[in-house]
Structures are given as C-alpha cells and as structure tokens.
Amino acid sequence: MTRTSTTLHDTGIVRVRYVTCRTKDLGISAIEEPERDSIVMPVRGAFRQHDSRSQEVLADANRALFFAAGRPLRISHPAGGCDDCLVLDVAGEVLRDALNGGSLRDAGTHALLPMRAIVSRALLLRRVADPLEVEERALEILASALQAREESLCRKSPHVEAVQLAFLEHPGRKWTLKSAASRVAVSPYHLARLFRAETGLSMHAYLTRARVLRAIEILFDPDDDVTSIAYELAFSSHSHFTNVFRRLTGITPSDLRRRASVGLRTNLTASLA
C-alpha cells in the first residue's frame, strides 16, 4: 500500500492534507495505529475501516472518520485499491475544547456528514484561501462531524454496501428499487428495509446525496452549464436541481460556482478531473 500526503493549508490551529492511497491488495491490511488525531474524509473512492472487534464501516464520500492517535484499525478496499481523502489535523487544545475536555479516542468512530459540511470540504480542497477562512471552514466541519458522530462501527450487509457504491459510481442513472435489487440478487422489499435499517437513510435519500455530491464536483468546472448538470444527474429540471441542492446544502448551485471561482487550486483540480 502506497500513501502520499500533500499539505494544502497549515495555520497552526489546523492542518489540511490531501492523502492518496494506492494498493493492489484488496485484503484487510495489517493493524495500524495512527500517530495523531485526525478527521479523515474520503472524496474519491472508498475503503472499509475495521476495528479490533471485527466491526467495520464503509468510508465513502458521505462520511467522516475519526482516526484517534494510538487506536488500532485496519483498512480494506471494496471497489478497487484506491481512495483519496481530505484530512484535518486539528491542534490538540482546539480538539479538546470541541470535545468538552474529552479525547477523540472516546468520541465515536465516524459520522454521516451534513451536506453543508461537504460543501465546506470541497471549498477547502479546491480553493486557495486565507488562514481565517481555512480555520472557520475546518472547525465547521469538525463541529458537524462531532455532532453527527456514531459510537461504534457496525458490520454492513454486502448487499447494502454494493448498492451504496453503485449509487456513488452512477448517480445519474435512473435507478428503481427493482434495478438496484437485481444488481445484488435480493428482493426489492428486503433491500429497501435492510438499506434503511443499516444506513439510517432511504435509498432515494442516499441516491439524492450521491447526486448532489457529484454536482458539487462538477460545479467547480465553469464550462458545465447548470441546466446540463441537472439533466446529467437525472433531475427533472433546472429548478428541481436548484431546489434539492439548496435544501441539502443551504446554497444554490450558482452560489457555489461563484464561491468556487475565486482562488481555484488549479494544479490539484486538474488531478481530480
């Protein structure tokens, strides 16, 4: 397994890193113990985090994972041996303050990020920003992740995981319950109940998040028309896309495009295209 880490911002309060992982081994890695407390957020690809109790979570672009210093973990890759992550290393005193004097080791293992935090994540990744903006966005993400944190990993059905990955890979497809269920060879009724029980979201809600996640990426390219993006991602119209995007993120697609147009990080953006 090969990892590379590029520091995008370092203000003293928070360091923001872009970490890539490449491996040909799809098995479970040896035990690792992180050297520092970090908030790890996949932006491309996915991996599984396994703990010492044989529990696991699928780490995809919807989630933040808490890598606590010294807490053992193992990693595997369910869909090809690569992932790219944005990582926040927050100064110890700031992290303790956010945890009311506690430690990340006792703060749970992962969180489903609100879409507003995912917008801030995209802007941290794609834009060159001044230190105050970096710190405010990073601490907003940290607060959102801690508020939404879950206490333990849980073993997911391979059927649910396969559908999650399919939605993330093909968000513009016009999925039906039947087409998703046939992909994993289970009944539509069983899949719908299992998906909601294991993810806390309906399949439609998860697919909508996948579409908005992809839209956030595409909106950083000024050559793509917003209406074209809407149809590419299976929204019924420009207004439908705008309404859903605003409901989930708090801003419109055009608002994000305007924010993204200032200080775009061209070298990293090219690598993400």
Asked if 128 and 168 sit in the same domain, the reply is: no
Residue type, position 103, single letter? S
Asked if 141 and 189 sit in the same domain, the reply is: no
Domain boundary among the residues 150, 185, 215 is at: 150
Asked if 108 and 189 sit in the same domain, the reply is: no
Asked if 89 and 175 sit in the same domain, the reply is: no
Give the domain CATH number at 31.
2.60.120.10
Asked if 193 and 129 sit in the same domain, the reply is: no
Domain boundary among the residues 119, 150, 181 is at: 150
Asked if 111 and 12 sit in the same domain, the reply is: yes
Is residue 73 within 8 Å of 34, Cβ to Cβ? yes
Asked if 129 and 165 sit in the same domain, the reply is: no
Asked if 130 and 169 sit in the same domain, the reply is: no
Question: How confident is the prediction along the chain (273 residues), in pLDDT tens digits per residue?
Answer: 788 999 999 999 999 999 999 887 778 888 989 999 999 999 998 888 887 656 788 899 999 999 999 989 998 887 667 889 999 999 999 999 999 999 998 888 899 999 999 999 999 998 777 899 999 999 999 999 999 987 555 556 889 999 999 999 999 999 999 999 999 999 999 999 999 998 889 999 999 999 999 999 999 888 889 999 999 999 999 999 999 999 999 999 999 998 877 766 654 444 454
Environment class of 101 (CB within 10 Å of its CB; exposed 0-12, middle 13-18, buried 19+): exposed
Domain boundary among the residues 111, 130, 150 is at: 150
Domain boundaries, position 128:
2-150
CA distances from 59 to 21, 45, 93, 202, 240 (A): 13, 9, 27, 18, 29
Give the domain CATH number at 170.
1.10.10.60
Task: Count up the domains in the chain and report the number.
Answer: 2
Asked if 174 and 57 sit in the same domain, the reply is: no
Asked if 49 and 123 sit in the same domain, the reply is: yes
The angle that helices 131-147 and 115-126 make with each other, rounded to 10 degrees, is 150
Asked if 143 and 163 sit in the same domain, the reply is: no
Asked if 7 and 129 sit in the same domain, the reply is: yes
> How far is 140 from 154, CA to CA, in rounded Å?
26
- What is the pLDDT at residue 29? 85
185-223 per-residue burial string, b: 16 or more CB within 10 A, e: under 16:
ebeeeebbebbeebbebebeebbbbbbbbbbbbbbbeee
